[in-house]
Amino acid sequence: MIRVGSRAMASSELVATAAEVRERVAAARADGKAIGLVPTMGALHEGHLTLMRRARAESGYVVVSIFVNPTQFVAGEDFERYPRDLAGDGKLCGSVGADLILAPEVSEVYPPGDSTWVEVTGALVEGMCAPHRPGHFRGVTTVCARLFNIVRPDRAYFGEKDYQQLQVVKRMVRDLKFPLEVIPVPTVREPDGMAMSSRNAYLSPEERKAAVSLSRALFAAGDLADAGERDTHKLVAAARAVTQAEPLLRLQYLELRDAETLETVTHVERPVVLAVAALVGRARLIDNVVMVPGFSVDRIERDVYHEGDVKKGQGARR
Ligand code: AMP
């Protein structure tokens, strides 16, 4: 136990190897516990902690992986300078009651001589972030497949903030029949609406003010959809107008796509995702909102609809 002031805080056990994880997980399973995995790249914030709390509430044994995965960074991106703070992250994991932290070296996940990739193909990886980050999703699915095989969780928690990643991982799990459930967790935002991200740390105060235009743009389109607008072009144009008013934003894409297949749509009839990516200073930021016809974006952001509803194409209260 670590004592902080008068408050007792549980600490999470820290391990670095697959063998250590396997041993701990086997013991938890022998105790009849279900295993929840929260994969992260560290520099933890409230978004990550929300995933962990959800895992804590649903699974008897919670594993958090902290691994800045080199294969999902494209040449010239921020792999080297990505924020790393294992000591701070460890405390945060302990504060939400995570049982185990796996913080492996690169050579533990990708042993020398290794030559296996896992790649989803098709519409899910053709638009949005894919053309701007060639090879990124192949790196994501490869590391997730490896982490799933190391930890063998019953559930793995992913944020809707990385919407395309979530859909790609879900497809991999389905296609390869990994025996686990992917649990999506709604985006956690700052009080002004900006999506929390480890990369927000790169922003100067001036850039941080500019960056809020991303969520504002999405919510402007959401308001229009709430008012009954179903024309994709008009919804995208409303969002684009907000981003164009901010000179510090360099937009990479602003796209409205089917929420499940990520195919382009011209008219909103089923749930759709409006997704954006932009460069602000040194940071590449992404955000999205899901719009469900008949359901307001605000209510969705407050998590009043769930996964299955997207498939049924209608909203429903929990
Ligand atoms: P990362 O460390 O950025 O790779 O993120 C690890 C996990 O946390 C991913 O599943 C992300 O989608 C999720 N995540 C990151 N930021 C947020 C956020 N603001 N709200 C919800 N989930 C998030």
pLDDT in tens, 168-221: 999 999 999 999 999 999 999 999 999 999 999 999 999 999 999 999 999 999
**What pLDDT score was predicted for residue 297?**
67
Write the residue with the smallest CA distance to atom 18 of ligand 1: 47
Ligand 1 contacts CB of residue 72 (under 6 A): no
User: DSSP readout, 262-275?
Assistant: --B-SB-SS-EEEE
Closest-lying ligand 1 atom to the alpha carbon of residue 48: 8
Ligand 1 contacts CB of residue 187 (under 6 A): yes
- Cα separation, 168 vs 286, in Å, equals 16
Ligand 1 centre and the CA of 198: distance in Å? Answer: 8
- Across 260-286, average pLDDT: 96
Ligand 1 centre and the CA of 17: distance in Å? Answer: 23
Ligand 1 contacts CB of residue 185 (under 6 A): yes
Prediction pTM value: 0.92
Q: Read off the pLDDT band of 294 (50, 70, 90).
A: confident
pLDDT, tens digit (0-9, with 9 covering 90-100), for 81-101: 999 999 999 999 999 999 999
Write the residue with the smallest CA distance to atom 14 of ligand 1: 159
Ligand 1 contacts CB of residue 162 (under 6 A): yes
Closest CA to 24 of 58, 55, 65, 52: 65
**Percent share of the chain, pLDDT over 90:** 88
Ligand 1 centre and the CA of 228: distance in Å? Answer: 31
Closest-lying ligand 1 atom to the alpha carbon of residue 162: 12
**What pLDDT score was predicted for residue 298?**
55
- Across 214-235, average pLDDT: 96
Write the residue with the smallest CA distance to atom 11 of ligand 1: 159
Give me the phi and psi of 213, to 5 degrees please: -60, -25
- Across 14-40, average pLDDT: 98
Write the residue with the smallest CA distance to atom 13 of ligand 1: 159
Ligand 1 contacts CB of residue 167 (under 6 A): no
Spacing of C-alpha 109 from chain mean position: 20
Q: Is the pLDDT of residue 72 over 70?
A: yes
- Cα separation, 95 vs 7, in Å, equals 11
Closest-lying ligand 1 atom to the alpha carbon of residue 186: 21
Residue 19, amino acid: A
Q: Is the pLDDT of residue 41 over 90?
A: yes
Q: List beta partners, residue 267.
A: 231
Probe ligand 1: pick from 41, 49, 51, 173, max atoms within 8 Å of CB? 51
**Kind of pairing between the strands at 155-159 and 35-40:** parallel
Q: Read off the pLDDT band of 306 (50, 70, 90).
A: very low
**What pLDDT score was predicted for residue 304?**
39
Closest CA to 291 of 305, 273, 309: 273
Ligand 1 contacts CB of residue 156 (under 6 A): no
Q: Which of 45, 48, 132, 233 is catalytic?
A: 48
**What pLDDT score was predicted for residue 244?**
97
**What pLDDT score was predicted for residue 61?**
98
Q: Tell whether the torsion through CA atoms of 265, 266, 269 and 272 is positive or negative.
A: positive
Residue 48 a catalytic site member? yes
Probe ligand 1: pick from 92, 161, 300, max atoms within 8 Å of CB? 161
Q: Tell whether the torsion through CA atoms of 49, 50, 51 and 53 is positive or negative.
A: positive
Ligand 1 contacts CB of residue 254 (under 6 A): no
**What pLDDT score was predicted for residue 296?**
67
Probe ligand 1: pick from 44, 48, 196, 198, max atoms within 8 Å of CB? 48
